[in-house]
A = this chain, B = another copy of it.
């Protein structure tokens, strides 16, 4: 059962979200990738979010551009931690997606990372899972140690 769900608003977002997959692979964290649009397929997003915790999912990473409602809509249907990745690509270069994801109203938070920050979304998921899973903690700390030595 995957611990992390990676959701993107459109198939065309796949390259921008590949970094999240790469990082979770590298850290040995199970994940599932879905293409779901908050606007075009709202019922599928709702089902996905309502069932996620029961299915054993613990963190959802949502990448979207423009009026990027995906992370916020997921957050409206579940209490799992939602990590939002604002994607560039619109004329506004991702500032629209950033504001749409980060400025959530009180009570329904989204954990927003950088524009195009798919990799960091996965590292943040690892940081969250590291609280509970020793294997993730070890993998993430080893990676960070390498980072500190290698740079």
Contacts and interface: CB of A to CB of B under 8 A. Distances in A.
Contact of A102 (B39, B104, B113): B113
A1 interface: no
Interface in A40-78: 40-44, 46, 58-59, 66-67, 69, 72-73, 75-77
A44 to B, nearest CB: 8
A105 B40 contact: yes
For the complex formed by this chain, how many copies does it contain in all? 8
A107 B39 contact: yes
A106 B117 contact: yes
Contact of A38 (B76, B81, B107): B76
Contact of A95 (B92, B111, B140): B92
Contacts of A137: 79
A38 to B, nearest CB: 6
Contact of A100 (B19, B46, B67, B94): B67
17 contacts: A39-B76, A39-B108, A42-B148, A67-B72, A67-B100, A67-B110, A69-B100, A79-B137, A79-B141, A88-B91, A92-B95, A96-B100, A104-B113, A107-B143, A108-B120, A109-B113, A109-B120
